[in-house]
Amino acid sequence: VDGRAIAAAIRREVQAELKELSAGHRPPGLAVILVGEDSASATYVRNKAKACQEVGITSVQIHRPATISREELLDVLHTVNKDETIDGILVQLPLPAHIGERSILEAVDPAKDVDGFHPANLGGLLTGHPLFVASTPLGIMEVLDRFRVAIEGRDAVVVGWSTIVGKPIAFLLLHRRATVTVCQKWTRDLERHTRLADILVVAAGQPGLVKGDMVKEGAVVIDVGINRANGRLVGDVDFPS
């Protein structure tokens, strides 16, 4: 599964679509809010700005110090919520501990919540009618579809139950009529579940958690993990085995 090739194809498609949609109109605007000096977060924000530039989206970066108060950050959000040139808002996570992520994510206008983290969008996902879905789960479904992986009636196992990946991908698979099992750190005998999977999505944040002998022959495995181990990036799946 070549995720990079799929991403490049999608960017080309989005670029062509935006060129057509933006004829005679302003391009869409995306505001990315970054708090503090976390190097990984700064890298993600730069990559988002680069992707926006490539496809023709206006990218606005709002950087605030880690010492900002929750009230001050809420004021920033209220401003971009009302800004008619901003169509989408991303709050780069994690936020400093003193702010509280939940109150900030709930303050984003659901109609601009392109991360899909607002309770209104999460609730829409539960009922099968979301406005926005978190990008990683949506990307996983795009990968499965572009590789023509059959989903209906298949056994899908999700390892990890975060609101960012695990729970949304479980509901997306359910809405496509898969039989879904969600595993987490309290799951007993993880291998018993993973070996049943026709489609296995691993997003646990634990390097090398799933070994080759835990996966049946012919299964489709999507490794979402990004971990740094011994100075290099590794996934949650032990790829060599």
Catalytic residue among 92, 112, 113, 223: 92
What is the token pair recorded at 150? 């059959």
What is the rounded average pLDDT of the residues 182-210? 96
Task: Give the pLDDT confidence of 87-139 residue by residue, as tens digits.
Answer: 999 999 999 999 989 999 999 999 999 999 999 999 999 999 989 999 999 99
Percent of the chain with pLDDT over 90: 85
Task: Give the pLDDT confidence of 52-68 residue by residue, as tens digits.
Answer: 999 999 999 999 999 99
Catalytic residue among 38, 50, 83, 115: 115
Task: Flag whether pLDDT at 232 surpasses 90.
Answer: no
Catalytic residue among 48, 112, 167, 223: 48
Phi, psi of 232 (to 5 degrees): -135, 160
Provide the β-strand partners of residue 237: 210
| Res 230: pLDDT | 82
Extended beta strands in 103-241, E state: 155-159, 179-183, 199-202, 220-223, 227-229, 232-234
| Res 233: pLDDT | 84
**Cα separations (Å) of 28 from 19, 61, 139?**
11, 14, 20
Task: Give the pLDDT confidence of 213-229 residue by residue, as tens digits.
Answer: 999 999 999 999 988 88
| Res 228: pLDDT | 81
CA distance 103 to 70: 9
Is 115 annotated as catalytic?
A: yes
Average pLDDT, rounded, for the chain: 94
Give, as one character, the DSSP assignment of residue 208.
T
Do 207 and 227 form a contact (C-beta atoms < 8 A)?
yes
Residue 31 pLDDT level (bands cut at 50, 70, 90): very high
> Which ranges of 83-222 would DSSP assign to H, the alpha helix?
101-105, 119-127, 135-146, 166-175, 190-194
Is 19 annotated as catalytic?
A: no
